[in-house]
Amino acid sequence: MSTPSEPGNDWSEPGLSAIVGERRQLINLAYRLLGSLAEAEDAVQETYARWYAMSRQQQEAVDSPGAWLTTVASRICLDLLGSARVRRERYVGEWIPEPLPDRAEWISGPAGGGRAEPADPADRVTLDESVNMAFLVVLESMTPAERVAFILHDVFRYPFAEVAEIVGRTPAACRQLASSARRRIRAAQAPAVPTAGQAGLVRHFKEAWEARDIGALVDLLDPDATMIADGGGLVGAALRPVEGSERIAQYLIHIADRAPGLTLLERTVNGRPGLVAQHAGVSVTVAAFGLAAGRITRIWAIRNPEKLRLWTENRQS
């Protein structure tokens, strides 16, 4: 399939650079809608495929190509969200959104992929509050229509009249969908923790884990903390949430004892301080954290190798 960035396209075509320039916006939108960069890239690829399947005359009849691309991408994502619910019912264990590294740690693709230099991560996803793991997990609890209406309006500032055309509902209905989504976000939102405090808490957690200090781990965890692991049935991972500070601490010590040589690295995960566990130089787990009142309330441990492609290609120490 020919994509907008491949040599086969005629770059002299009027407006082509503007069309290709929409890719960053589309990837940002699709990732927030789907929680998976791989699925987001597929959705955007399909969006461009539909654009280039039109004749030149049909393309020129489109008043706003950017709006056309956004509409098509959103509808593709809406369809994917509907089918994703069925797929995730069959998913082995818990499903966690795909984690993203920081801009400086981004790897564009496998070595030897033909690129002269890594792609700018800004072409992929902008790491702001709307992609932190806690936010994405709440989005997963929404209906597809709620999620699309909320992201388009509250995050990307599309008016409800335009959202309605995309979702296939009235503006009033879309307003209600976004309002319902907003209530879910507020209900799950923990008080903000300063970035420096987040990093310090995660660092202390790392040190306590490395020292196998179960008492220190318990002190850093909220008594009602929850740890969720996502192995996708491809690697070992707890199939159900581990609940309570003592049980989580014991589980972490058990993991450390079973995996000698495990290296923990402080990394940015979806714009927040997190940890990456490496074994023999390969990233095997990416951990994101939810924090409140000076303690860790949530740990999301992504172990599914299909969700770690951007991390396994990055072997920085």
Q: How many CB atoms lie within 10 A of CB 217?
A: 23
Number of structural domains, the chain? 2
Q: Are residues 182 and 211 in the same domain?
A: no
Q: Are residues 202 and 152 in the same domain?
A: no
Q: Of the residues 170, 188, 206, which one is the last residue of a structural domain?
A: 188
pLDDT at 155 exceeding the cut of 50: yes
CA distances from 109 to 34, 43, 140, 280, 311 (A): 20, 18, 27, 20, 10
232: in domain: yes
The domain in which residue 228 lies consists of: 195-312
Q: Which pTM does this prediction carry?
A: 0.85
Q: Are residues 85 and 207 in the same domain?
A: no
- How does pLDDT run across 213-252, given as a tens digit for each residue? 999 999 999 999 999 999 999 998 999 999 999 999 999 9
Quote the strand ranges of the chain, DSSP E: 221-230, 242-243, 263-269, 272-279, 282-292, 295-302
Q: Are residues 243 and 158 in the same domain?
A: no
Q: Are residues 284 and 210 in the same domain?
A: yes
Q: Are residues 170 and 218 in the same domain?
A: no
pLDDT at 132 exceeding the cut of 50: yes
4: in domain: no
Q: Name the average pLDDT for the chain.
A: 86
Q: Which of 1-5, 204-208, 232-236 has the lowest mean pLDDT?
A: 1-5
How high is the pLDDT of residue 8?
39
2: in domain: no
Binned at pLDDT 50, 70 and 90, residue 83 comes out as confident
How high is the pLDDT of residue 72?
97
pLDDT at 135 exceeding the cut of 80: yes
Distance, C-alpha 160 to centroid of its chain: 25
- How does pLDDT run across 266-279, given as a tens digit for each residue? 999 999 999 999 98
Q: Of the residues 169, 188, 207, which one is the last residue of a structural domain?
A: 188
- Token pair 């998976």 is found at 36
How high is the pLDDT of residue 102?
86
Q: Of the residues 145, 168, 188, which one is the last residue of a structural domain?
A: 188
pLDDT above 90: percentage of residues in the chain = 67
| Average pLDDT over every residue of 257-263 | 87
Binned at pLDDT 50, 70 and 90, residue 201 comes out as very high
